[in-house]
Amino acid sequence: MVSAATALLLLDVTVVNVAVPAIGEDLGATFSELEWVIDAYALTLAAVLLTAGSLSDRIGRRRVFVLGLWIFAGASLMCALAGSPTLLDLARGLQGVGGAAIFATSLALLANEFPEHRRGFAFAVWGAVSGGALAVGPLVGGALVDGPGWRWIFLLNLPLGLALIIGATRLRESGDANAPGTDWAGAAAFTVAVFALVFALIRGNPEGWGSPVILAALALGGLAFGAFVAIELRGTHPMLPPSLFRVPAFTGTAIVAFAQSFALYPMFLFLALYFQQVLDYTAWETGLRLLPVTVVLFAVAPLSGKLTGRVTLGRHLAAGLLLIGTGLLTMRALDPASEWTALLPGLVIGGLGIGVISPALAAAMVSVLPVDRAGLASGINNTFRQLGIAVGIAGLGAILQARAPSLTARPDFVSALDTIFLVAAAVALAAVPAALLVRVPQPSPSSADCPAP
């Protein structure tokens, strides 16, 4: 049930990708507004996750989980009824708040439901379902867009969300009434910092990188980030204790979580645009051409999960990053005369990389904090993942806008994709040394393994 809820919210990260052209045509949205349809969701997920994880430790993880489901379902209805890009973007942001509450508690709930010797399997299933939801999103989105229409992408969340709310009553409550208080000041500074950065990346090309608006956004982001660091260093109960970065496994997995999300998941958006805007495929045909990623992922993830207790997690993570980087470099074989099949080898290798890395990443992030802080561990894990998606879409999207402003000229779009693949591959491969910091699997560390904040 926890895995199903996580799949639902992660599905909404990528299911919208193939609907972007239809949404843009229906609502008259610009490319920047369409980027916000995805980034408003991913950013609020990232911005609220740490707070939701900390809050759930104190007031109850199941309670926060169910509240998140209610918010997610209500915001989905607002998305379906939106009549303008601005209203859709705002509703997507609220949807991300609900998703953050679900995501932040997911691994902690699993850790509470399963005994230690079965958690590796539970995390493997969660990792496979999570990665699979992100990968299968384009296919589901294509079916809905070409069928009843893009609004049904969000309407479908209503019955599914209600069913999950009912199912959540079977979960055991967990938490600690004496857990540290919520770091609201840190949460506010963190939110301002990430929104300002992503705004600058998305609006940089249309406004001009030297324009007062962009310079102000970058300055605000820098100041807010500095304030966040100061708050965390001096705060009594920081939401992201700086001392955690003295744990090599924590630092390594955080970097891996960001890098793998930055490198691969934004590609679903850019490839969906390429297939539909340039190659003239329908949304459903686009989803079918992205299906190889899903097939390989589902085949590999269970096998990878079974090895998490036998092979060093760092090697798993490094192997996944190497595969993702190799897949992206392989896709650089594309040229203006190529058919979509030129991307197929890279898609397969990328799916293999997701299947290898997802279960190991879930196990690694939970293992670096003691069980009584599992909500915080879950929130941190997923914060870095969502930040990777949000920053990846904004940053790589800026490259796309600069090199292919019309989004329809085939040579320009292919040239932009070539650069995007190279940058994304470089990010994935650069994170390999960080993965190797996770040297030994630690399924249940004691509090002594983690320095006190």
Determine the Cα–Cα distance for residues 60 and 58; give it in Å rounded to an integer.
Answer: 6
Total number of domains constituting the chain: 2
Q: For residue 27, what are its two tokens? A: 């609502």
Do residues 31 and 101 share a domain? yes
- Judge whether 195 lies within some domain: yes
Do residues 118 and 221 share a domain? no
Determine the Cα–Cα distance for residues 91 and 79; give it in Å rounded to an integer.
Answer: 5
pLDDT at residue 281, as a whole number: 92
Do residues 76 and 196 share a domain? no
Cα 451 to Cα 241, 252, 264: the distances in Å are: 9, 16, 33
Do residues 193 and 331 share a domain? no
Determine the Cα–Cα distance for residues 349 and 327; give it in Å rounded to an integer.
Answer: 5
Q: For residue 226, what are its two tokens? A: 């500095």
Determine the Cα–Cα distance for residues 441 and 446; give it in Å rounded to an integer.
Answer: 13
> What domain range includes position 274?
2-170+239-443
Determine the Cα–Cα distance for residues 385 and 368; give it in Å rounded to an integer.
Answer: 16
pLDDT at residue 219, as a whole number: 95
- Judge whether 453 lies within some domain: no
- Judge whether 178 lies within some domain: no
**Cα torsion through 85, 86, 87, 89, rounded to 10:** 80
Do residues 99 and 212 share a domain? no
Distance of CA 73 to the CA centre of its chain: 19
**Contact 84/24 with Cβ under 8 angstroms?**
no
Residue matched to tokens 């939970």: 366
Provide the sign of the torsion angle of the four alpha carbons 83, 88, 90, 91, taken in this order.
Answer: positive
Q: For residue 229, what are its two tokens? A: 């660091």
Of 441, 437, 108, nearest to 247 (Cα)?
437
pLDDT at residue 442, as a whole number: 43
Instruction: Give residues with Cβ within 8 angstroms of 115, minimum separation 6.
Output: none
Determine the Cα–Cα distance for residues 105 and 56; give it in Å rounded to an integer.
Answer: 7
- Judge whether 122 lies within some domain: yes
Instruction: Give residues with Cβ within 8 angstroms of 178, minimum separation 6.
Output: none
pLDDT at residue 209, as a whole number: 87
Q: Where are the strands (E) in 115-220, listed by range?
A: none
Instruction: Give the domain CATH number at 30.
Output: 1.20.1250.20
- Judge whether 33 lies within some domain: yes
Determine the Cα–Cα distance for residues 171 and 154; give it in Å rounded to an integer.
Answer: 26
The amino acid occupying position 16 is V
Do residues 192 and 80 share a domain? no
Determine the Cα–Cα distance for residues 68 and 76; give it in Å rounded to an integer.
Answer: 12
- Judge whether 450 lies within some domain: no
Do residues 206 and 275 share a domain? no
**pLDDT lower than 50: segments of the chain:** 441-453
Q: For residue 123, what are its two tokens? A: 């995390």
Do residues 224 and 262 share a domain? no
pTM value > 0.85: no
pLDDT at residue 449, as a whole number: 35
- Judge whether 164 lies within some domain: yes
Over the chain, what is the mean pLDDT?
83
Do residues 157 and 224 share a domain? no
**Contact 43/195 with Cβ under 8 angstroms?**
yes
Residues across the chain: 453
Helices (H), 265-290: 267-273, 283-289
